Amino acid sequence: MPIDETLVFRPINIALLTVSDTRVAETDTSGDKLAELIRAAGHHLTTRTLVPDEAHDIGQRVRLWIMDKTIDVIISTGGTGVTGRDVTPEAMRSIWDKEIEGFGELFRTISYQTVGTSTIQSRACAGVARGTYIFALPGSTGAVTDAWDGILKYQLDSRHRPCNFVDLMPRLMEKAPLVKQRPI
């Protein structure tokens, strides 16, 4: 994937949300892995928290973060499976202004290379709300790594060509009713 090294890297601010009924900060291995990948890429991990698998709790946290104009991207881990407790996609879809359908499709294509047909159990998804990108990833370290290394590290790099999510940030709120000013 082409990174144009002649361009200046622009770090972005990322909030990390772990959704789990069983993990605590000390056992959040997928959150730890994602935090490591975010920092290694040169981005700023601005905040990190853990909430239970409850649509209300997920939605409340994400809504607070999308109102914070210093947060560019929210990445969640966990709650994207098919069990009764997995409600992250439903919580996110109730917030988004637009869904990024290709994210889930591409994630499952990449994931297929490591977990085979088990990838069909993933409901990884992404969208945009009030000018903030939101990505919902499965809660395993392998899935987090697949999503970051296969998609996010490129799309969140302002030097990626032919296009990337960072370059679109100033235009995310065009024609939107509530304008969130986003510094770049």
pLDDT tens readout for residues 129-183: 999 999 999 999 999 999 999 999 999 999 999 999 999 999 998 866 554 444 4
Closest alpha carbon to 136 in 123, 152, 117? 123
Fold of the domain spanning 13-166: Molybdenum Cofactor Biosythetic Enzyme; Chain A (3.40.980)
Quote the pLDDT of residue 179.
Answer: 45
Q: How far apart are CA 115 and CA 38, in angstroms?
A: 23
Q: Give the predicted TM-score (pTM) of the model.
A: 0.93
The residue ranges of the chain whose pLDDT is under 50 are 179-184
